[in-house]
Structure 1
Amino acid sequence: MAENIFLFVPNLIGYGRIILALISFYYMPTSPAMAASAYILSGFLDAFDGHAARMLNQGTKFGAMLDMLTDRCGTMCLLVTLAHFYPQYMFLFQLSSTIDISCHWLHLHTTVMAGRTSHKGQEANANPILRLYYSSRPVLFFMCAGNELFYASLYLLHFYEGPQVLGGLGLWRGFVYVLLPVAVLKSILALMQGYNAALGLGELDVREREEERKKAK
């Protein structure tokens, strides 16, 4: 009997992440507590689907695509909300969303076309910086969590400053100041991903064209 990969545990977790993300999107304009709770829980479950995939040997291309698209769409919808809350920075939010979606999609698509099992593997990341980014779980967690916390703090800052910390500075404003470099670096890494993926896709095109010319002779 053929396996039903759509019912694999990591993919079931992925469906739960989508439901939580949709709840978050619905409440974003008016209810920061509900929106933030659902958004953070959806992001938190991201660590569990990968762990389940490795532990149960249930890693699939569908799961990798589902995971990546959930992450990208979640961040994109948060950026749409931020562009509404902070219209003076709309271009920056649009730029961040464009870089995030296009470069990650190109990277994953090139990985699949090259026949590799994961866009996080060393074969898919020849650049040493990107290899470190994906091979070191602490680095990957810090960058992804820091980037999401930066945008989440901007979102919460629209409603209130948060608990006062050093010198009376609001917690959310403090996170925004501290994590801004992380968000900028995350976009730079995404651009590097997109550039390397474009080179890889170009190499695939060259090989395919050479094979076609050989067949035509």
Structure 2
Amino acid sequence: MAIESVETIFLFVPNLIDYGRVVFAFAAFYFMQTNYKLAAFLYLLSGFLDAFDGHAARMLNQGSKLGAMLDQLIDRFTTMCLMAALCYFYPKYMLFFQFSMTVDIVSHWFHLQSSLMKGSGSHKILDLSANPILRHYYHNKIILFLMCAGNELFYCLLYVKYFTDGPSVGNLGLVTVLLYPCGVIAVMKIIISFLQLYAAMANVASIDVADRTAAKASSPHQKKAS
């Protein structure tokens, strides 16, 4: 059996999909001020491909730590860059977008770090003592897809609404009609991010407690007292 090289890992199909996501995302950012239709299409295409890298990794047995890191970081920076654009288009709501970016990035960073400290192979693997809402969120693929897709669609629709409200649906434009259910999902996603942050911080704190207990037990003073 051939030994896999660094170049081989770089060329894993899931990683190639992630590279494509980056290209499409930056193409979307390039057109955001000049062509909202193309920008929205490219951004959603980049997000849509996120649903395929995991399937490709499992189907082709090409899961990798590099791919997991790429997937995590691409998710974060694409959403962050879109929100940065929304700060430009909706300056009155800048604080909300900054708050949303912060919660998303910090909660996922803590979650990833706590997973690595506990030896998990993926940021989506939770121990059984974790919050049941998070457990269902990460292990039910339908819920995970709907939540992530709805959240991304909410911010993308906000971007599109700056330019047009779309065709009329009753007394409202189609974009506004879609914004309401997606907005509910976006709020739920923020709440889940807070739960994720607390669970991750609790996991790290439990590791601290175990380390401090072990350090005290092995200290010369404790051995002498015993």
Please identify, of 203-212 and 143-152, the stretch whose mean Cα deviation from structure 2 is larger.
203-212
Cα pair 2:56 2:62 within 8 Å, conserved: yes
> Does structure 2 retain, via aligned residues, the 8 Å contact 1:125–1:131?
no
1:150 to 151, 154, 158: 154
Q: State the TM-score, normalized to the length of structure 2.
A: 0.90
Residue 163 (structure 1) aligns with? 167
How many residues are treated as equivalent by the alignment? 216
Q: How far apart, CA to CA, are the structure 1 residues paired with 2:70 and 2:212?
A: 31
Q: Does residue 183 in structure 1 map to residue 215 in structure 2? A: no
The answer to whether the Cα contact below 8 Å between 1:111 and 1:124 also exists between their aligned partners in 2 is no
Of 169, 192, 196, the residue aligned with 1:193 is 196
Give the match for residue 106 of structure 2.
102
Larger radius of gyration between Structure 1 and Structure 2: 2
* Amino acid corresponding to residue 155 of structure 1 in structure 2: Y
For the aligned residue pairs, the C-alpha RMSD in angstroms reads: 1.6
Q: 1:113 matched to which residue of 2?
A: 117
CA distance in 2: counterparts of 1:212 and 1:21, whole angstroms: 47
Is 1:74 matched up with 2:65? no
Once the 2 structures are TM-superposed, how far is the Cα of residue 33 of structure 1 from its aligned partner? 1.4
| Residue equivalent to 1:22 | 26
| Cα shift readout 1:26-72 (whole Å, capped 9, x = no counterpart) | 11122111211111111111011000111122222221111011011
Partner in structure 1 of residue 14 of structure 2: 10
* Aligned residues of 2:115 and 2:125 also touching (Cα < 8 A): no
Q: Which runs of 4+ in 1 moved over 4 A?
A: none
- CA contact 2:79–2:152 (8 Å) conserved in 1: yes
Q: How has the CA–CA distance of structure 1 residues 8 and 213 changed in structure 2, closer, same or farther, with 3 Å as cutoff?
A: farther
Cross-structure match for 2:207:
204
State the shift of 1:124 in Å. 7.6
Gaps of 5+ in 2: 221-226
Provide closer, same or farther for how the CA distance between residues 33 and 125 of structure 1 changes in structure 2, counting only shifts above 3 A: farther
- Tell me, which stretches of 5 or more residues in structure 1 are unaligned? none
* Residues 107, 36 of structure 1: alpha-carbon distance in 2 compared, 3 angstrom cutoff: same
Q: Percent identity?
A: 52
Q: TM-score, normalised by structure 1?
A: 0.93
Q: Residue 100 of structure 2 contacts residue 190 of structure 2 at CA under 8 Å; is this kept in 1?
A: yes
